[in-house]
Amino acid sequence: MTDYAKITKYLSASQDRMTSLIDQISSGKRVSKPSDDPVAAAQALLYQQAKSIAQSEKANAEYTSSLLGFSNSALQSLQDQLADVHVEAFYSKNATLSGQDLKNLGEKVSAMYQSMLATANSASSTGPLYSGYSRNTPFSSGGYAGDQGSLSLPIGDSQSVIASDNGFIVKNGLHTSVLEPVKQLADSLLAGNPATPAMLESLEEAVDLLGQAQTSVGSRMQVAENAANNAEDKIQRYASLISKTTDLDYGEAIAALEKDKAMTEALQKVFVSIQGQSLAKYL
Amino acid sequence: MLTPAFGIGLSGLKAFQKKTDTHAHNIANASTPDFKKQVLTLEEAPAQYQEGFWMGRGVQVGNVSRVIDELLEQRITAAKNNAGKGEGLSSGLSELEAAVGPAISDFADSLQGLRSAINAANQDPDNLVYREAVLKAGEAVANSRNKVSSKFEEVRSNLNSQLGFQEQSINSTLDSLQKINSELEREPNNPELIEKGRSLANEIVSQVGGSYRIEEGTGKVQVQGVNGTVLKNPIDMRIATGGVVGGINQSLETLSSLNTFISSSSSEFLSAFNAVHEGGTDLAGASGKPFFLENGGAWSMGVVDPSELALGQGGGALDNRNGLALLGGFDTRNTQGNKATITESLAQATAKLGTSVNSAKDTGNAADNVLEGLLSQAQEKYGVNVDEELVGLMQAQRCYEACAKVIQTADSMLQTLLDIKR
* Residues near B392 by beta carbon (within 8 Å), at least 6 away in sequence: B19, B23
ipTM of the complex model: 0.88
Least confident of A146-150, B155-159, B206-210, B383-387: B383-387
A-chain CB neighbours of B357 within 8 Å are: 34-35
CB contact under 8 A, A133 and B319: yes
Interface check for B108 against chain A (CB to CB < 8 A): the answer is yes
Q: Hey, which bits of B210-359 come out as E strands?
A: 211-214, 221-224, 292-295, 298-301
DSSP A125: S
Please, which pLDDT band fits residue B72 given cuts at 50, 70 and 90? very high
Interface check for B317 against chain A (CB to CB < 8 A): the answer is yes
CA dihedral (A242, A245, A246, A247) positive or negative: positive
| The predicted structure's pLDDT at residue B345 | 95
| pLDDT tens column, B364-407 | 999 999 999 999 899 888 888 888 999 999 999 999 999 999 99
| The predicted structure's pLDDT at residue A125 | 82
| pLDDT tens column, A66-104 | 999 999 999 999 999 999 999 999 999 998 999 999 999
B-chain CB neighbours of A163 within 8 Å are: 123
Mutate to test the interface with A, among B95, B123, B151, B254 (most CBs of A within 10 A): B123
* Residues near A157 by beta carbon (within 8 Å), at least 6 away in sequence: A230
B-chain CB neighbours of A164 within 8 Å are: 318
The mean pLDDT of B38-65, rounded to a whole number, is 89
- Closest-CA residue in chain A for B347? A42
CB B162 within 8 A of CB B138: no
Interface check for B352 against chain A (CB to CB < 8 A): the answer is yes
CB contact under 8 A, B123 and A52: no
Answer whether residue A170 shows pLDDT above 80: yes
Please, which pLDDT band fits residue B176 given cuts at 50, 70 and 90? very high
Distance of CA A62 to the CA centre of its chain: 3
B-chain CB neighbours of A136 within 8 Å are: 316
The rounded mean pLDDT for chain A is: 92
| The predicted structure's pLDDT at residue A153 | 95
CB-closest option in B116, B125, B354 to A35: B354
CB-closest option in A55, A56, A135 to B318: A135
CA A129-A133-A136 angle, 5° bins: 70
Scan residues 20-59 of B and list those with Cβ closer than 8 Å to A.
none
User: Residues B260-287, buried b or exposed e (16+ Cβ, 10 A)?
Assistant: ebbbebbebbbebbbebbeebbbbeeee
CB contact under 8 A, B97 and A152: no
Which residues make beta-bridge pairs with A152?
A162
End-to-end CA separation in angstroms for chain A: 26
DSSP A92-112: HT-TT--HHHHHHHHHHHHHH
Mutate to test the interface with B, among A27, A49, A155, A160 (most CBs of B within 10 A): A49
* Residues near A60 by beta carbon (within 8 Å), at least 6 away in sequence: A153, A154, A155, A163, A227, B119, B122, B123
| pLDDT tens column, B131-153 | 999 999 999 999 999 999 999 99
The alpha-carbon gap from B288 to the nearest alpha carbon of chain A, in Å, equals: 18
CB A108 within 8 A of CB A88: yes
Nearest to B66, CA basis, from B195, B185, B177, B158? B195
For residue A81, the surrounding DSSP H or E stretch is helix A38-92
DSSP B99-149: HHHHHHHHHHHHHHHHHHHHHHHHHSTT-HHHHHHHHHHHHHHHHHHHHHH
The alpha-carbon gap from A206 to the nearest alpha carbon of chain B, in Å, equals: 28
CB contact under 8 A, A135 and B317: yes
Cα–Cα dist B372/B82, whole Å:
12
The rounded mean pLDDT for chain B is: 93
Cα–Cα dist B46/B56, whole Å:
7
| The predicted structure's pLDDT at residue B247 | 96
Cα–Cα dist B330/B113, whole Å:
12
Helices (H), B124-224: 128-186, 191-208
The alpha-carbon gap from A82 to the nearest alpha carbon of chain B, in Å, equals: 29
| The predicted structure's pLDDT at residue A1 | 54
| pLDDT tens column, A232-254 | 999 999 999 999 999 999 999 99
The alpha-carbon gap from B314 to the nearest alpha carbon of chain A, in Å, equals: 10
| The predicted structure's pLDDT at residue A274 | 80
CB-closest option in A38, A42, A278 to B358: A38
Cα–Cα dist B281/B285, whole Å:
5
Interface check for B324 against chain A (CB to CB < 8 A): the answer is yes
Strands A143-144 and A151-156: unpaired
Answer whether residue B46 shows pLDDT above 80: yes
| pLDDT tens column, B310-368 | 999 999 899 999 999 999 999 999 887 678 999 999 999 999 999 999 999 999 999 99
Mutate to test the interface with A, among B90, B118, B119 (most CBs of A within 10 A): B119
| The predicted structure's pLDDT at residue B2 | 54
The mean pLDDT of B199-224, rounded to a whole number, is 93
| pLDDT tens column, A22-34 | 988 998 989 989 9
Please, which pLDDT band fits residue B4 given cuts at 50, 70 and 90? confident
CA distances from residue A253 to A19, A39, B145 in whole angstroms, order as listed = 12, 20, 35
| The predicted structure's pLDDT at residue B153 | 97
CB-closest option in B111, B124, B376 to A126: B124
Rama region for B35: left / alpha / beta (φ>0; ψ in -120 to 50; rest): beta
Nearest to B346, CA basis, from B271, B274, B266, B292? B266
| The predicted structure's pLDDT at residue A109 | 95
Answer whether residue B48 shows pLDDT above 90: no
The alpha-carbon gap from A106 to the nearest alpha carbon of chain B, in Å, equals: 37
| The predicted structure's pLDDT at residue B422 | 65
Task: Count A/B contacts: CB-CB distance under 8 Å.
Answer: 140
CB-closest option in A34, A136, A152 to B353: A34
Q: What does residue A208 show for φ and ψ, rounded to 5 degrees?
A: -60, -45
CA A192-A198-A204 angle, 5° bins: 110
CB contact under 8 A, B109 and A9: no
Identity (one letter) of the amino acid at A60?
N
% of residues, chain B, pLDDT over 70: 99
